[in-house]
Amino acid sequence: MRPKFYLFALCATASWLTAENSRADLVATNSFSIGTKNFTLNFEVGHDGRLYQRAIGATAVNEKLLRTDESYPQAGDGYVWEPALQITHADGNTSTSLIFDNLTRTTDNTGREITQIQLHDPAYPVQVALNFRADQARDVIEQWTKIVNHESGVVTLERMASSSLVFAPTNVHLTHFFGDWAKEMLQPITEPITPGTKVLDSKLGVRADQFQNPSFVVSLDGPPQETGGRVLAGSLEWSGSFQCAFDDNGENIHALCGVNPFASAYHLNPGETFTTPKMIWVWSANGLGDMSRKLHSWARDYGMRDGHKTRAVLLNNWEATGFDFNFNRIVGLYDPAKEIGTELFLLDDGWFGNKYPRVNDHAGLGDWQPNKKRLPEGLAPLASEAVKRGLRFGIWLEPEMVNPKSELFEQHPEWVIAQPKRALELQRNQMVLDLTRPAVQAFEWSNISNILSVPDITYAKWDCNRYLTQPGSSYLAAGRQSHLWIDYVTALYALMDKTAKTFPDTELMLCSGGGGRVDYGALKYFQEFWPSDNTDPTQRVPMQWDYSYFFPPMAIASHVTHWGNRPMHFACSVAMSARFGMDLDLNKLSAADKAVCAGAISAYKQIRDVTAFGDLYRLENPHETFRGAINFVSPDRARAVMFAFQLKDGEATPVHPQGLDPAKNYTVHELNPAPGRAAIPAAGKTFTGEELMRDGIVPSCAHAVEASVIEISS
């Protein structure tokens, strides 16, 4: 489709503008909008030629434009608040002043409209393009920025946000998620945005989150609600250090999101372009539930791999064996795995290293040859034994890392990210390989491709168990050390992309010492992610709830383990509500527990199309009440599944499903009921959707760590 092209008459004399937020003469010359079905960003070009955005949520449109309304503010020429762009030009000038050039609208091959707003600096040949891709039906707008250096010398980007949306400061709240290892996403915080700058960021380099998360919600009508109110989810597609700064300057709020400018000055040679990561914004005027259903639907189409394929039931050996296994012990897990219905076996850490065998986490990382004592014939027989028994086979990798106790480190000590003159700082006894170095890129790719080329390997878990604390590269020149943070992630994505393209039928799980790398930048190369090593189901209920604001449950790996020693029925029920898997030594399981697992797997197979592709309704918030409850509804509203997870003792009060067809008749029954518990009162009975949503369904659980999974089918 031919781009539509708009050129507005401009007044390029911006120099008289002051920082005083002057209202004089700043009346818009032209206006345009970028929007989806229910969400519109309104832009105006002022008489000064600058680009302004009318604040989201503003009740009255002020005829005058203020400097604080600037859409993508630049540092150094009058704008005194947090800038989106800060450039040091080739001649050392630290100011940038962008003037609107033109607007083009095109349609990409998915039918989504891409709008590009071209800006330029009249005094310096730097071009900036603000890009927006709009998914009409899902109210999703992705935004990113391209900066091109046409100067004759090197320019330095000191700050380069992907997006800087402007909000009216009317009761705006921010909900963000703090965490740590085993506590990922477990601490949602909702707070009003007040004058000053609130920063969510990470400086971890090779993973976005561990503490802060690059996904958040801005709500415009006070704290966000599940079924009402205006909310905008934000999620940055970036797996490295990020910054989301909410700058309330008293007039309005800028949400500036992008790579973290911390220590990341980026030099652009003449002719070079810098493209920021994409920022995803999802709008709803009907609360968090509607917002996440739209985001899940977008993610299934564009945000992850194979969003329209159901997932296999996986058995992982990590919690069951840790590093303590050999060929026979692993093969010994296959028959019981098949018997209870699992479909895919994942061999975790500990299968490689010979001079320095990987028998614990102190040695062997980087030496990706199968350990000859444990696996004398390598990986192929393990995989083929699995396939013979009707299971698929998957493998664990941590391609970016090295233990100093390894042959790799002996041969290439200069390949690690470290600071010369400082003692090596280890995390989990390991270092990060410097992916900016082409030899490291080639090395990592050869390991990945060799391992994934082993016949019958059709699944891999890509782990990353540390972050950067000493960001030095012996490959990058002295004047380019600050590129490490960004160039690492760019090289990582190239590797992930090549992996996904070369092995299109190999499913990939994104993992990072638990959930340290959960973002849409990486997820587009993966089918799913590992949210946390914490698999205690009482913790997983609120954790999965929080992840589900942004990610579809089919992408959230949820495994049954012995963490927390919870009843098997409760653990299975929680895992069934996301991508179901197990991490148990089935040979050590009691017959009773095995039966519960087998029942859960068979029930999951019956409903997994609904939990994967259906709409999610969050019903009762486990952070706030004695239980958590959710339900999924199939796209045709013919089937639904409701989950109730009792976290504290309480009453068996009705849970009210949502999203059913009010006029349809549905029959209710409990799936894989807990042994010994009375049937639910509604079992086998038929009700209209309206009745079920109004009167609710009483689940079979009333005591802590009981759960009830209820199928509702027409």
Name which of 179 and 614 has its Cβ closer to ligand DGJ.
179
The residue nearest ligand DGJ at its CB is 349
The yes or no reply on residue 511 touching ligand DGJ (CB under 6 A) is: yes
Name which of 429 and 602 has its Cβ closer to ligand DGJ.
429
Site for ligand DGJ in 425-464 (CB under 6 A): 463
Q: CA–CA distance from 196 to each of 161, 245, 246, 525, 628 (Å)? A: 18, 10, 8, 37, 36
Is beta strand 28-35 parallel, antiparallel or unpaired with respect to 40-46?
antiparallel
Query: Mask 67-106, x = binds ligand DGJ (CB under 6 A)?
Result: ----------------------------------------
Nearest Cα neighbor of 217 from 113, 129, 294, 146 is 294
CA distance 142 to 107: 14
The yes or no reply on residue 666 touching ligand DGJ (CB under 6 A) is: no
Residue 138 has phi, psi (to 5 degrees) of: -95, 0
The yes or no reply on residue 348 touching ligand DGJ (CB under 6 A) is: yes
CA distance 407 to 59: 65
Least distance from C-beta 322 to ligand DGJ, angstroms?
A: 8
Stretch that binds ligand DGJ, among 43-51, 71-79, 466-474, 506-514 (CB under 6 A): 506-514
Residue 280 belongs to what H/E stretch? strand 279-284
Least distance from C-beta 654 to ligand DGJ, angstroms?
A: 37
Stretch that binds ligand DGJ, among 419-427, 511-519, 628-636, 670-678 (CB under 6 A): 511-519
CA distance 249 to 70: 12
Least distance from C-beta 226 to ligand DGJ, angstroms?
A: 30
Least distance from C-beta 465 to ligand DGJ, angstroms?
A: 5
Least distance from C-beta 532 to ligand DGJ, angstroms?
A: 8
Q: CA–CA distance from 463 to each of 193, 395, 488, 546, 560 (Å)? A: 35, 11, 16, 22, 20
Name which of 264 and 465 has its Cβ closer to ligand DGJ.
465
Q: Is 78 within 8 Å of 67 (Cβ atoms)?
A: yes
Name which of 17 and 375 has its Cβ closer to ligand DGJ.
375
CB neighbours of 116 closer than 8 A, spacing ≥ 6?
A: 103, 104, 105, 106, 129, 130, 131, 132
Name which of 385 and 533 has its Cβ closer to ligand DGJ.
533
Nearest Cα neighbor of 617 from 645, 655, 657, 654 is 657
Number of neighbouring beta carbons within 10 Å of residue 349: 20
Name which of 336 and 513 has its Cβ closer to ligand DGJ.
513
Q: Is 141 within 8 Å of 232 (Cβ atoms)?
A: no
CA distance 655 to 642: 9
Stretch that binds ligand DGJ, among 113-121, 429-437, 449-457, 509-517 (CB under 6 A): 509-517
Number of neighbouring beta carbons within 10 Å of residue 7: 12
Q: Is 168 within 8 Å of 159 (Cβ atoms)?
A: no
Count of residues making up the chain: 714
The yes or no reply on residue 609 touching ligand DGJ (CB under 6 A) is: no
Name which of 237 and 348 has its Cβ closer to ligand DGJ.
348
**Coil vs helix vs strand at 502:** helix
Q: Is 655 within 8 Å of 644 (Cβ atoms)?
A: yes
Site for ligand DGJ in 351-410 (CB under 6 A): 396
Least distance from C-beta 317 to ligand DGJ, angstroms?
A: 10
Least distance from C-beta 239 to ligand DGJ, angstroms?
A: 16
The yes or no reply on residue 567 touching ligand DGJ (CB under 6 A) is: no
557: which strand partners? 579
Least distance from C-beta 530 to ligand DGJ, angstroms?
A: 6
Least distance from C-beta 511 to ligand DGJ, angstroms?
A: 5
Q: Is 174 within 8 Å of 218 (Cβ atoms)?
A: yes
Tokens of 17: 């503008």
Amino acid at 217: V
Torsion from C-alpha of 296, 298, 303, 305, nearest 10 degrees: 80
The yes or no reply on residue 513 touching ligand DGJ (CB under 6 A) is: yes
Query: Mask 293-322, x = binds ligand DGJ (CB under 6 A)?
Result: -------------------------x----
Least distance from C-beta 325 to ligand DGJ, angstroms?
A: 13
Stretch that binds ligand DGJ, among 86-94, 298-306, 324-332, 507-515 (CB under 6 A): 507-515
Per CB under 6 A, the list member of 201, 272, 533, 661 interacting with ligand DGJ is: 533
Which ranges in 269-326 belong to alpha helices (H)? 287-298, 318-321
CA dihedral over 42, 45, 46, 47, signed as positive or negative:
negative
The yes or no reply on residue 290 touching ligand DGJ (CB under 6 A) is: no
Nearest Cα neighbor of 527 from 551, 492, 559, 491 is 551
The yes or no reply on residue 514 touching ligand DGJ (CB under 6 A) is: yes
Stretch that binds ligand DGJ, among 73-81, 510-518, 630-638, 685-693 (CB under 6 A): 510-518
Per CB under 6 A, the list member of 342, 465, 499, 658 interacting with ligand DGJ is: 465
Per CB under 6 A, the list member of 242, 530, 547, 645 interacting with ligand DGJ is: 530
Across the chain, how many H-helices and E-strands are there? 12, 36
Stretch that binds ligand DGJ, among 230-238, 440-448, 508-516, 700-708 (CB under 6 A): 508-516
CA distance 290 to 142: 18
Is beta strand 557-560 parallel, antiparallel or unpaired with respect to 579-582?
parallel
DSSP 8-state symbol, 655:
B
The yes or no reply on residue 209 touching ligand DGJ (CB under 6 A) is: no
Residue reference for tokens 């001079």: 355
CA distance 289 to 226: 5
Least distance from C-beta 581 to ligand DGJ, angstroms?
A: 11
Least distance from C-beta 597 to ligand DGJ, angstroms?
A: 19
Name which of 311 and 559 has its Cβ closer to ligand DGJ.
559
Name which of 322 and 381 has its Cβ closer to ligand DGJ.
322
Name which of 465 and 700 has its Cβ closer to ligand DGJ.
465
Name which of 238 and 396 has its Cβ closer to ligand DGJ.
396
Least distance from C-beta 443 to ligand DGJ, angstroms?
A: 20
Query: What is the contact surface with ligand DGJ in residues (CB under 6 A)?
Result: 318, 348-349, 396, 463, 465, 511, 513-514, 530, 533
